[in-house]
Amino acid sequence: MNEERRGVYPFCASCTACSVAWRVTDTSGPGSGHFYGHRDTCQDCGSSIRTPYHTVLWVPVSKLGEFRVISTGGRNYIGRKLIAQPVHSVVRGEPVSAIAEHPELEVASEYRTAEAYWEDSEPGQALPFYQEALVEREKVLRADDPATLRVRLRVAQGLLATANYGRAIAWFELLTPQLVDVFGPHHDLTHAATEAVTGARLMVGGPRAEARLLADVVAADEQDVGPGDPQLLRDRAALGQALLACGEISDALYALSRVVRDARPGHPDTAVYRAALLDACEVAEARGKRREVLLAETARQVLSDESTPTGMGTD
């Protein structure tokens, strides 16, 4: 999961350099996607270039790009999308944070302790202190303030390092679009998040295993917190996206619609959830059966009933 000189596990350095992290969806069923071709096998990591197509009744109808793929058994894969040339970190200009107006947050004991543990390569020890620091930041800063996002990323990384894969994936699902919006798609922080969630999914073992794990996480949340609790919203949204990756479109629409209904209007996190529901609607309308298309119409009504725009950047 850690980036090392040899590349992002399990890919070697050269295959990592010519590709970007990618979520592999379930390739079973007559209306999903299937890999075709098998060429340029890497002698170092064993990955090969394959081309997935969207299929209807197992007939390829549209190309989805080219990918370096390593099979993890059965129908499961780890993949990275090929790029024309290596993408270097590009910073738009460091975004301005409102933390300058709250200097006490940078010297708070919880935050300083978390940073000290992190510098000592003790993410498990740092995690609870980062979680406490995040609560304090979110009281006075926006959820998508650059200073908040940095601590959110540490929380997600800490959960991953302590093998809490379900909740780590949920954090990365929420956090990554915000990092893209605030820092840009090629910023080091964005890159760290996309690679980390790839590592988490590798450990879980594929989209169906991920969906089962997140279903258990959501069930545990429902015993402990209320319907509008940020943790439940975050975990249920990740479950919806995992279900969509499995091709379970109806269940995905249901889960994501519940999240949007329960989320706080105008909050930056809600913008991410709304965008995820919109993506699920588009998948249903393009690939779904009649029942799923009708469910997408209902889901779009949920979106239209909300006053919050789908795009990022609202408060």
The pLDDT value recorded for residue 116 is: 97
Most confident segment among 7-16, 45-54, 154-163: 154-163
Tokens of 290: 């009649």
Rounded to a whole number, what is the largest CA-CA distance in the chain? 60
The pLDDT value recorded for residue 68 is: 83
Least confident range from 30-34, 154-158, 186-190: namely 30-34
Least confident range from 71-85, 142-156, 214-228: namely 71-85
The pLDDT value recorded for residue 59 is: 52
Q: What is the pTM of this model?
A: 0.78
Arithmetic mean of pLDDT, 30-38: 57
On the question of pLDDT at 6 being above 70, the answer is no
On the question of pLDDT at 153 being above 70, the answer is yes
Least confident range from 63-77, 180-194, 223-237: namely 63-77
Q: What percent of the chain has pLDDT over 90?
A: 55
Least confident range from 5-14, 25-34, 169-178, 245-254: namely 25-34
At 291, is the pLDDT very low, low, confident or very high (cuts 50, 70, 90)?
very high
Most confident segment among 70-74, 136-140, 186-190, 286-290: 136-140
Tokens of 76: 């499961």
Tokens of 81: 């999308």
DSSP the chain: --EETTEETTS-HHHHHTEEEEPPPP--STTSEEEEEEE---TTT--EEEEEEEEETTEEEEE---EEEEEEETTEEEEEEE-SSPPPP--SSPPPPGGGG-THHHH-HHHHHHHHHHHTT-HHHHHHHHHHHHHHHHHHS-TTSHHHHHHHHHHHHHHHHTT-HHHHHHHHHHHHHHHHHHH-TTSHHHHHHHHHHHHHHHHHTSHHHHHHHHHHHHHHHHHHS-TT-HHHHHHHHHHHHHHHHTT-HHHHHHHHHHHHHHSPTT-HHHHHHHHHHHHHHHHHHHH--HHHHHHHHHHHHHHHH--S-SSS---
On the question of pLDDT at 172 being above 80, the answer is yes
**304 vs 74: which has the higher pLDDT:** 304
Measure the CA–CA gap between 129 and 99, rounded to whole angstroms.
18
Asked if 149 and 134 count as a contact pair (C-beta separation under 8 A), the reply is no
Arithmetic mean of pLDDT, 30-37: 56
Tell me which amino acid residue 108 is.
A
In degrees and rounded to multiples of 5, residue 148 shows phi and psi of: -70, -45
On the question of pLDDT at 147 being above 90, the answer is yes
The pLDDT value recorded for residue 33 is: 56
At 26, is the pLDDT very low, low, confident or very high (cuts 50, 70, 90)?
very low
The pLDDT value recorded for residue 75 is: 62
On the question of pLDDT at 195 being above 70, the answer is yes
Measure the CA–CA gap between 206 and 25, rounded to whole angstroms.
8
At 27, is the pLDDT very low, low, confident or very high (cuts 50, 70, 90)?
very low
Which residues lie across from 67 on neighbouring strands? 50, 81
What's the whole-number average pLDDT of the chain?
84
Measure the CA–CA gap between 294 and 150, rounded to whole angstroms.
40
Measure the CA–CA gap between 202 and 115, rounded to whole angstroms.
27
Domains and CATH numbers, the chain: 3-82 (no CATH), 98-204 (1.25.40.10), 207-305 (1.25.40.10)
Quote the distance between the C-alpha of residue 302 and its chain's center.
23
Measure the CA–CA gap between 147 and 281, rounded to whole angstroms.
33
The pLDDT value recorded for residue 181 is: 93
Asked if 69 and 79 count as a contact pair (C-beta separation under 8 A), the reply is yes
Measure the CA–CA gap between 274 and 174, rounded to whole angstroms.
11
